[in-house]
Structure 1
Amino acid sequence: MPFTPYHAGPAMLAGVGFRKVFHIPALIVGSVIVDIEPFLVLAFDLDYPLHGFFHTFAGGTIAVLLISVPIWLLRKPIGKLMARLKLEQKKGFWFILWSAMFGMVTHIIMDSLFHADLRPFYPFWYNPFYGHISSKAIHFLCVFSFIAAGIIYIVIFFTAQKKESRQKNS
């Protein structure tokens, strides 16, 4: 797996680039939630695969369902934070669920590209994604996505501030 924060880069790029398509917080949380599993395995030295059930589409879907409800319940405070960040968005449950699901799927596909032990289509052992792209290319994509997301966000933020300033002055 790219180190967990790397997964946030592509999610943030998709989120700020396509704000009308994705709920940014749900997308980011969905893109990293399944890495709680390897964290727990490493932190507690568990006798369990590093990329186990939650690194499958079935397990990831369960994780997404579990996080989508709290994100939806917290939609008002999250919405206020997003408004301050100049990233106002729709807040419906299906929009949140779709976004978290997309984040999870991209995470599992990225990890499947260079982890032979991943079984994305559990209970089947086959990993059709493995070995098609190098880990170096994935890491580059993740870092590039993070930087590009930051640049796009800066443009969005200052454009919104400029628009607000014009409205106050007129």
Structure 2
Amino acid sequence: MPFTPLHLGPGFALKALGGRHFSFLAFGLAQVAMDIEPLAGLLTGAQRLHGSTHTYLAALGIALVVAAMTPPIGRPVVRRWNREVAWARLPWLTVSADFTRVSVLAGATLGTLSHVWLDSLMHADITPLAPWSEANGWLGAVSVEALTIGCLLAGLLGLTAWLVLTWRRGQRASASSRGAR
């Protein structure tokens, strides 16, 4: 992908589908972690930007590192998010600061693996199946424009679905707390 944020589109869709079993924060951190190598390559003028970290094998290792880092990085981020939405009087947008192993591993793993796959569609310097194969059978399977639009649409639909589901959950919680009085 030309920009790491476009990778977040599918992450919103996965969050809407996975709910509490999928950490969007781990997914986002995985996107950033995956693009450290290309950024370093850009800064140093490397010939190949997408090297060993852009393989499925390395992506699994990076996912484990991201999964371990997500709770300590994520808790302050979630606390800040929850303060901001409370200040904005949108309590239904608060999120849990509980990072379960399942949610963090799902977010990190799907983040790194989807990153390799999406980049495989457009970057000629990726060998996703290395060290077993130097081939990239996904290259050019869709146009860069279609890939970008697909990521943006996934993000728009996923974010919309997440907002609706979160609002409905907040409405149910509010109704049950009123009924408990």
TM-score (normalizing by structure 2): 0.78
Indicate conservation of the 8 Å contact 1:2/1:138, yes or no: no
Query: In structure 1, what is the equivalent of residue 86 of structure 2?
Result: none
Structure 2 unmatched ranges of 5 or more: 83-90
Indicate conservation of the 8 Å contact 1:30/1:103, yes or no: yes
Map Cα deviations across residues 77-100 of structure 1 (whole Å, 9 max, x no partner): 566578763444873335422331
Q: What is the aligned-residue identity percentage?
A: 25
User: Following superposition of structure 1 onto structure 2, how do residues 45-124 of structure 1 map, counting pairs within 5 Å?
Assistant: 45-73=44-72, 77=76, 85-88=93-96, 91-123=99-131, 124=133
Once residues 163 and 102 of structure 2 are traced to their aligned partners in structure 1, the CA distance between those partners, rounded to angstroms, is 28
- State the superposition RMSD in angstroms: 2.6
Matched letter for residue 16 of structure 1: A
Map Cα deviations across residues 22-44 of structure 1 (whole Å, 9 max, x no partner): 222212322442112112222x2
Once residues 152 and 94 of structure 1 are traced to their aligned partners in structure 2, the CA distance between those partners, rounded to angstroms, is 21
Secondary structure of the structure 1 residue equivalent to 2:35: helix
Secondary structure of the structure 2 residue equivalent to 1:19: helix
Instruction: Give the C-alpha shift of residue 125 in structure 1.
Output: 1.0
Map Cα deviations across residues 129-167 of structure 1 (whole Å, 9 max, x no partner): 112111111101111011112211221232133223323
Instruction: Give the C-alpha shift of residue 75 in structure 1.
Output: 6.3
Secondary structure of the structure 1 residue equivalent to 2:116: helix
**Number of residue pairs matched by the alignment:** 169
Once residues 103 and 122 of structure 1 are traced to their aligned partners in structure 2, the CA distance between those partners, rounded to angstroms, is 19
Is 1:41 matched with 2:41? yes
Map Cα deviations across residues 103-151 of structure 1 (whole Å, 9 max, x no partner): 1111111110121211111122111211211111110111101111221
